[in-house]
Amino acid sequence: MKRTIAIGVVVVLALLIGGGVLLYQRVLGDTAPASGPISAVPLAPEGAAPGSLVFQIVPEKSEARFTIPEVLRGKPNTVVGKSNQVAGEIAVAPNDLAATKVGVIRIDARTLETDSAQRNRAIRNFILNTNTYEYISFTPKEIRQLGGAAEQGKTLTFQIAGDLTIRDVTRPVVFDVTAQADSTSQLSGAASTMINRSDYNLSIPSVPFVANVEEQVKLELVFVAATTQG
Q: Quick one: which of 46, 82, 48, 89 has its CA closest to 187?
A: 89
Residues 145-192: pLDDT tens digits?
999 999 999 999 999 999 999 999 999 999 999 999 999 999 999 999
More confident residue, 155 or 19: 155
Residues 40 and 226: their CA atoms lie apart, in Å, by 13
Please answer whether residues 161 and 174 qualify as being in contact, where contact means their C-beta atoms are separated by less than 8 angstroms: yes
What's the angle, vertex CA 203, arms to CA 201 and CA 208, rounded to 5?
Answer: 175
Distances (CA, A) of 159 to 91, 112, 180, 224: 16, 25, 14, 18
Are 66 and 32 spatial neighbours (Cβ–Cβ below 8 Å)?
Answer: no
Residue 63 CA to residue 125 CA, distance in Å, equals: 22
- Output the pLDDT for position 10: 43
13-30 mean pLDDT: 47
Q: Where are the beta strands (DSSP E) in 125-184?
A: 135-144, 156-166, 169-183
Q: CATH for 31-227?
A: 2.40.128.110
Q: What is the structure's pLDDT at 74? A: 83
Total-model pTM: 0.85
pLDDT tens sequence across 129-141: 999 999 999 999 9
Neighbours of 121 (CB within 10 A): 16
Question: Residue 30: what are its φ and ψ, rounded to 5°?
Answer: -60, 150
Q: Which residues contact 42 (CB under 8 A, 6 or more apart)?
A: 89, 103
* Average pLDDT of the chain to the nearest whole number: 88
Q: Give the Å distances, CA to CA, from 51 to 48, 93, 110, 221.
A: 8, 6, 37, 27
Which phi and psi angles does 3 have, rounded to 5°?
A: -65, -40
